Amino acid sequence: MAVKVAINGFGRIGRLAFRRIQNVDGIDVVAVNDLTDDEMLAHLLKYDTMQGRFTGEVEVENDGFRVNGLEVKSFSEPDPNKLPWKDLDIDVVLECTGFFADKEKAEAHINAGAKKVLISAPATGDLKTIVYNTNHTELDGTETVVSGASCTTNSLAPVAKVLNDDFGLVEGLMTTIH
């Protein structure tokens, strides 16, 4: 049985996650929540100036859209507590708005019925921040909300880990410009 994923926030990060998941067996995006209308969401998914044209089929429907024949429900709910994650049996919410970036706010998805939440941004408060191939072994399976750090951290951390493991780092400095 496939892992059911919902994406909250279908901007740059949400759409990139959606595109990537399309090539992963056993994971299905079944819902997105974004305040933008479905026609615009479908257009932005299909035509990306950085990633190129989406090769799959995207069709707008009454309650969302269909991607490569699979239904994706769409919602425009600003309060995640009110999303139908329980009814959709959502396993994981990818929190990609940048707004619900602390445990308390992200737990609104848990309150709505999701089993787990992955925040796609640096989080505040008492949350594990995980960078795959760097510290993912810290996860023990009991976590309901974790942070996937920032794009910059995901770029730097694996390289810093190798340097530290092989040579030892005393200190470092990184500057991010957006």
CA distance 168 to 131: 19
The answer to whether position 22 is within a domain reads yes
The CATH number of residue 143's host domain is 3.40.50.720
What's the count of helices (H) and strands (E) in the chain, helices before strands? 4, 10
The answer to whether position 50 is within a domain reads yes
State the average pLDDT over residues 33-41: 97
Handedness of CA 38, 90, 68, 46 (dihedral sign): positive
Q: Domain residues for 125? A: 3-152
Judge whether 81 and 114 are in contact, CB under 8 Å: no
The helix (H) or strand (E) run that includes residue 5 is strand 3-8
The number of domains in the chain is: 1
Biggest CA-to-CA distance, the chain: 57
pLDDT tens readout for residues 76-123: 999 999 999 999 999 999 999 999 999 999 999 999 999 999 999 999
Asked if pLDDT for residue 159 goes beyond 70, the answer is: yes
The answer to whether position 90 is within a domain reads yes
Confidence label for 177 from pLDDT (cuts 50, 70 and 90): confident
Tell me the DSSP string of 20-77.
Answer: HHTT-TTEEEEEEE-SS-HHHHHHHHHEETTTEE--S-EEEETTEEEETTEEEEEE--
Residue 133 — left, alpha, or beta (φ > 0 → left; ψ -120 to 50 → alpha)? left
Asked if pLDDT for residue 178 goes beyond 80, the answer is: no
Comparing 102 with 175, the larger pLDDT belongs to 102
Q: Which two tokens stand for residue 84?
A: 């139908």
Q: What is the pTM of this model?
A: 0.92
pLDDT tens readout for residues 120-144: 999 988 899 999 999 999 999 999 9
Q: Annotated active-site positions, please?
A: 151
